[in-house]
A and B are shown apart, each in its own frame.
Chain A
């Protein structure tokens, strides 16, 4: 069969909402795009544990500590589901980790911002996990089977992340003057980076059309961003707080909120490695990997010894 025929069969399947599975024929570009998108997502889950882990030992109550540990543990699981799904495309775990550790692969820029106060745990859960959910729910219908199945599992777990975050902010918003200030400050710092999580504007994201045709993207960056802004603009009122955007205003004609210009210079600068924590995050990852080497080796040695024992 010619490549054109194979490509047609492939696209017909996608158009008919038939999932592509690991052993099915697929265009190289589809495989490559998926490996990039899925591994980037996996890396984000793993690096995303760092800013929150920063507050586990200082959580204000036992309940908050248990919750935060459970959330961070979930993120580790999300990384694992996604790495495993990516591996079905023929790229091994070591190679994926190597790409992260050498800076060849990217992860979500949001995790290059510091977590300065306890309120940041609330803002991250509400806004960062909120934006992630907005991005991830449509991916539960992605055309690549293992990816879609991983996303279903992830989305089920994410909703508690967002709710626990909002609960933290809600508690602070009903607290002392200092707590209310801390709450507003966290929202002020996390709002714009969260809005940027949806990526460049549609006219600046050249691969969107192809990804939509392949159904590994279901909505454009700007569509999802608008949905996020609309929802948050309503939710922030429950907190009695504000979003740091003087241009945020309901547009009756569009039936959406208008919002201010995004600082894309900041976005690209953080992606290029100049965010407040890029260096720390990568160093922490590499250190954890290197210092865990003896554990991986010991586990293997133990497994070998046990199998020798069973054999004799």
Chain B
């Protein structure tokens, strides 16, 4: 096999217990174990993480930004999904 064909991995890091894993970048590695170890070395050198997820980039499916206008359109006219939509008297407390 040709050299340099290590696949690309997307790296997600949980910065502390209780928080979500967040995308921090990507790197090349031969397999998942190596991706995790390399991610530790490049993305958590200063205690930035307590947990690492790696996903091979080819398995990430994304929405198409060109369709954004129509794709997100169904939510744009539904203001009644927000609490501020409802007209209630000021004396109503704890709601």
User: Are B3's CB and A296's CB within 8 A?
Assistant: yes
Contact A23–B6 (Cβ < 8 Å) = no
B55 within 8 A of A: no
Indicate if A302 sits at the interface (CB-CB under 8 A). Answer: yes
Q: How many A-B residue pairs have CB under 8 A?
A: 56
Residues of A within 8 A of B25 (CB): 81, 84-85, 149-150, 153
Chain A, residue nearest B26 (CB):
A84
The answer on a CB contact under 8 Å between B1 and A300 is: yes
Give the residues in chain B near A185, CB-CB below 8 Å.
Answer: none
Residues of A near B66 (CB, < 8 A) are 25
Contacting chain B: which of A72-80, A169-177, A211-219? A72-80
The residue from B6, B26, B41, B46 contacting A296, defined by CB atoms under 8 A apart: B6
By a CB distance below 8 angstroms, the chain A residues around B65 are 21, 23-25
Complex contacts, A77 vs chain B, CB 8 Å: 41-42, 45
| CB neighbors of A among B55-81 (8 A) | 62, 64-66
A300: contacting residue among B27, B30, B41, B45, CB under 8 A: B30
* Range, interface on chain B: 20 to 34
Tell whether, in the assembled complex, residue A297 and residue B3 are in contact, meaning their CB atoms are under 8 Å apart: yes
The answer, yes or no, to whether B5 is at the interface (CB within 8 Å) is yes
Closest-CB distance, B70 to chain A (whole angstroms):
14
B4 near A94 with CB under 8 A, answer yes
| B50 interface hit (Cβ, 8 Å) | no
Complex Cα spacing A207 to B14, Å: 40
Interface string of B15-36 (1 = CB under 8 A from A): 0000000001111101100100
> Chain A 217-247 against B: per-residue CB contact (8 Å), 1 yes, 0 no?
0000000000000000000000000000000
Chain A residues with CB under 8 A of B5: 300
Say whether A261 faces chain B, with CB atoms less than 8 Å apart. Answer: no
Residues in B whose Cβ lies below 8 Å from that of A150: 25
Residues on A with beta carbons closer than 8 Å to the beta carbon of B42: 76-77, 80-81
> Which chain B residues lie closer than 8 Å to A24 at the CB level?
65
Q: Is the CB of A303 within 8 A of B4?
A: no
Residues of chain B lying within 8 A (CB to CB) of residue A87? 8, 26
Expressed in whole angstroms, the minimum distance between the Cβ of A104 and any Cβ of chain B is 17
A23 x B64 contact (CB < 8 A) = yes
| Candidates B3, B24, B34; contact of A303 at CB < 8 Å | B34
A307: Cβ under 8 A from any B Cβ: yes
Which 4 pairs across A and B sit closest by C-beta, in order of nearness? A303-B31, A299-B30, A303-B30, A84-B26
Residues of chain B at the chain A interface (Cβ within 8 Å): 1, 3-6, 8, 24-28, 30-31, 34, 41-42, 45-46, 62, 64-66
Other than the given A97-B4, A296-B3, A300-B5, 7 more pairs (CB < 8 A) read A24-B65, A77-B42, A297-B1, A300-B30, A302-B30, A303-B31, A307-B31
A-B contact pairs, 19 of them (CB 8 A): A23-B62, A23-B64, A74-B45, A76-B42, A77-B41, A84-B27, A87-B8, A93-B4, A94-B4, A150-B25, A153-B24, A157-B45, A296-B6, A299-B31, A299-B34, A300-B1, A302-B30, A302-B31, A307-B31
